[in-house]
Amino acid sequence: MLKFSYCNATDLNQALVQCRFAGSFGPLSSRRRSPRAAVSFSRSNLTPIQAVLSCQQQVGSDPVESELGSLADRLRLGGLTEDGLSYKEKFIIRCYEVGINKTATIETIANLLQEVGGNHAQSVGFSRDGFATSPTMRKLHLIWVTARMHIEVYKYPAWSDVIEIETWCQNEGRIGTRRDWILKDVATGEVIGRATSKWVMMNEDTRRLQKVSDDVKEEYLVFCPREPRLAFPEENNKSLKKISKLEDPVQYSRLGLMPRRADLDMNQHVNNVTYIGWVLESMPEEIIDTHELQTITLDYRRECQRDDVVDSLTGPELVEGSKIHGTNGSATAITREDDLDCHQFLHLLRLSSDGQEINRGRTEWRKKPT
């Protein structure tokens, strides 16, 4: 018999939901229980999260792996925080993750965010054969896809720097979930970046969006903070800003971009990080040479497949209190009057064949450090 004497009713229900996929309990079970199935959690220091994970480990799993965790779990420099509601992991920046500025690229940062999010999901029993998919999602052929991504980098790590990324997820409306991240320099403890994202559920067979069911919510909400926790708690922060559509004619473009096989992920479409590279392909060279990306926001409008051909379009963003720079009446960059070294751009990715919008974006650039 399971005992959760330390839990309130909500925690108990959520914990029991999590145990559903770890083994069969109750009168409806037709499977023979193993001796390990009789799990008792006494009044101790265990949190509801720890109780759920202990249940997952002890029921229907290999006893050696349950005791020690998987080899990957043992080798990773990360794990759940004490309350079990977020996950932290350390990463060493490798030489192939560094770009022309001798620091990690924005694609590296985005890939690490994706990695730590997936590792978080695996650490609580999800995502063994999909990106953070729960047992119910796998049963119903449902996947998570990115709807919006916002990343701010205050200082880029260099080769061999060690960074720590903390991540957690929360409910976000009826059809989505939210995942946030905070990046720190391990040597100094300095926050070097923050990010937030919104994910929606898609049926992998029909490729249509689907509401997040109560069953799925029950499976992951037990691992989410009880109160809202935001990487960007500031009022009117940039992550909330709507992205205007870039209209023709545009000043900068890179046409005919084609996905490589390596750009496809396990969800059978172009991975969300590839879009960042496509957006940057149409940035003016004079900005790339003298500035570095400090903020990027992307709204994902449709998925991109292997045979799609994509056009990348870029133009300066004109905002209140900004100043236009250029020659012959042509704007090459726009800066804020309060920061002449900061440039802002709008971006659009669209299908070359019919002009359908794939992704719209917004970037801010600061002068490279000397």
307 and 293 in contact (C-beta within 8 Å)?
A: no
Q: What is the pLDDT of residues 230-253, one digit of tens each?
A: 999 999 999 999 999 999 899 999
Q: How far apart are CA 279 and CA 311, in angstroms?
A: 9
Name the domain count of the chain. 2
Q: Which CATH number does the domain housing residue 184 bear? A: 3.10.129.10
Query: Does the annotation count 55 as an active-site position?
Result: no
Mean pLDDT along residues 308-329: 76
Catalytic residue among 304, 342, 343, 359: 304
| Structure tokens, 3 | 């005992």
Outline where DSSP puts E strands in the chain.
78-80, 87-92, 142-153, 162-172, 176-185, 191-203, 209-210, 252-257, 291-300, 310-316, 322-327, 330-336, 339-351, 357-367
Is residue 279 in a domain? yes
- The pLDDT value recorded for residue 67 is 47
Q: What is the pLDDT of residues 184-236, one digit of tens each?
A: 999 999 999 999 999 998 898 999 988 888 898 889 889 999 899 999 999 99
Query: Alpha carbon 147 to chain centroid distance?
Result: 10
Catalytic residue among 269, 291, 343, 347: 269
Same domain, 277 and 313: yes
- Amino acid letter for position 32: R
- The pLDDT value recorded for residue 36 is 35
Last residue of a domain, one of 231, 261, 287: 231
Q: How much helix, strand and coil, in percent to the nearest 5, is found in the chain? A: 25, 35, 40
* Of the listed ranges 22-31, 166-175, 252-261, 326-335, the one predicted with least confidence: 22-31
Catalytic residue among 13, 111, 237, 267: 267
Rg, the chain, Cα only: 23
Same domain, 144 and 272: no
Last residue of a domain, one of 184, 199, 231: 231
Range of the domain at 136: 71-231
Q: What is the pLDDT of residues 32-91, one digit of tens each?
A: 333 333 333 344 555 555 555 555 544 444 444 444 567 888 898 999 999 999 999 999
Is residue 44 in a domain? no
Same domain, 266 and 161: no
The candidate with the shortest Cα–Cα distance to 163, out of 96, 102, 123, 113, is 113
Same domain, 223 and 344: no
Query: Does the annotation count 141 as an active-site position?
Result: no
Q: How far apart are CA 292 and CA 155, in angstroms?
A: 10
Query: Does the annotation count 325 as an active-site position?
Result: no
